[in-house]
Amino acid sequence: MAKQSTETTNEKKLLKQLYWRSFTLYSAVTPSKQGASGVSYALQPFVDTFYKGDEQGKKEAMVRQMSYFNTNIAMYPFVLGIVASMEKENSEKEDFNSESINAIKTSLMGPLAGIGDSVFWGVLRTISAGIAVGLAQAGNVLAPIIFLLLFNVPVQILRWKGGQLGYSLGSSYISSLYENGLINILTKAASIVGLAMVGAMTSQMVNLEIKWNMVMGDEVVMNTQEMLDQIFVGLIPLLITLFSFYLMKKKNISINYLIFGIIILGIVLSLLGIA
């Protein structure tokens, strides 16, 4: 019993560290990783604890946490809690599917970002600002402070409770799935959701519209972009994304070179009037 109490106290201490460290999510953003370094920093105490004496396991866990991550800051600790609980399971069970950790993380960040952005940025911020503006117009000097409290108090409560909830849910349900042999099914399903989300992000974030058209006299006889859209909407952005992925995975081209290459390509195509 004493041992169990010590472990529980340890985990509570780790969850407190997770909450405070989670504020650094976007302190070091890169185009290819977004908040990955913040995720790695927030989970480092768990990694150090769970993989104590297992340097190889620790290295693999640290590499896992440096995968692309981007979500709403209010929902973020909930994901961290689940990932932390899965890392614990992975450290204790030799045949645990470690690929499920990133699969779950990737599949959760998109839907939770949508929920968090709608509720907190779309609704709560608007309501808080409306109340504060009314107070400011009435001459209340506390209006800015009231706005900050109305918006931030619910967010911080959710962040605090979210990390704890994610950790407890992860510990119970992941263990149950593991014991029932369903962890591989969960990994496959989460991977599909994650890939669908990445595909949606690609269509929204990668833009290239062809402006070069076939002209006879003063009349446009073929609109290149419309023709491409009839074949496949977003064909050029998709090809650019797949080619970039090929260069990174197969040719080991640095992401920094790809970023500068795409910037230069965009400038050249713009100057030539092609896109």
pLDDT at 16: 94
pLDDT at 80: 93
pLDDT at 22: 93
**Is 232 in the same domain as 167?**
no
d(CA 172, CA 184): 17
pLDDT at 214: 75
pLDDT at 3: 40
pLDDT at 6: 40
**Is 53 in the same domain as 120?**
yes
Instruction: Please list, in sequence order, all residues whose beta carbon lies within 8 angstroms of the beta carbon of residue 195, skipping any fewer than 6 positions away.
Output: none
Nearest to 164 by CA among 1, 5, 22: 22
pLDDT at 187: 65
Of 200, 221, 252, which residue sits at a domain end?
A: 200
**Is 137 in the same domain as 28?**
yes
Nearest to 115 by CA among 168, 73, 80: 73
**Is 229 in the same domain as 131?**
no
pLDDT at 263: 86
Distances (CA, A) of 117 to 29, 97, 206: 19, 31, 21
**Is 61 in the same domain as 78?**
yes
The number of C-alpha atoms within 13 Å of 257 and in the hemisphere containing its C-beta is 8
Of 183, 200, 217, which residue sits at a domain end?
A: 200
**Is 78 in the same domain as 139?**
yes
pLDDT at 110: 79
pLDDT at 158: 93
pTM: 0.69
Mind listing the pLDDT tens digit of every residue in the chain (275 residues)? 334 434 578 889 999 999 999 999 988 888 778 889 999 999 999 999 999 988 999 999 999 999 889 888 999 999 999 999 999 988 888 878 888 888 888 888 878 888 888 888 888 888 898 899 989 988 889 999 999 999 999 999 999 999 999 898 876 676 666 566 666 676 677 667 667 766 776 777 778 888 877 777 777 777 888 888 888 878 888 888 888 888 888 888 887 888 888 889 888 888 888 87
d(CA 82, CA 65): 13
Nearest to 109 by CA among 75, 157, 154, 84: 75
pLDDT at 256: 80
Q: What is the SS3 string spanning the chain?
A: CHHHHHHHHHHHHHHHHHHHHHHHCCCCCECCCECHHHHHHHHHHHHHHHCCCCHHHHHHHHHHHCCCECCCCCCHHHHHHHHHHHHHHHHHCCCCCCHHHHHHHHHHHHHHHHHHHHHHHHHHHHHHHHHHHHHHHCCCCCHHHHHHHHHHHHHHHHHHHHHHHHHHHHHHHHHHHHHCCCHHHHHHHHHHHHHHHHHHHHHHHCCCCCCCCEEECCEEEECHHHHHHHHCCCHHHHHHHHHHHHHHHHCCCCHHHHHHHHHHHHHHHHHCCCC
The total of structural domains in the chain comes to: 2
Contact 240, 173 (CB under 8 A): no
**Is 148 in the same domain as 32?**
yes
| Domain, as residue range, for 220 | 208-271
pLDDT at 258: 86
Of 200, 223, 252, which residue sits at a domain end?
A: 200
* Cα torsion 65, 67, 69, 75: sign: negative
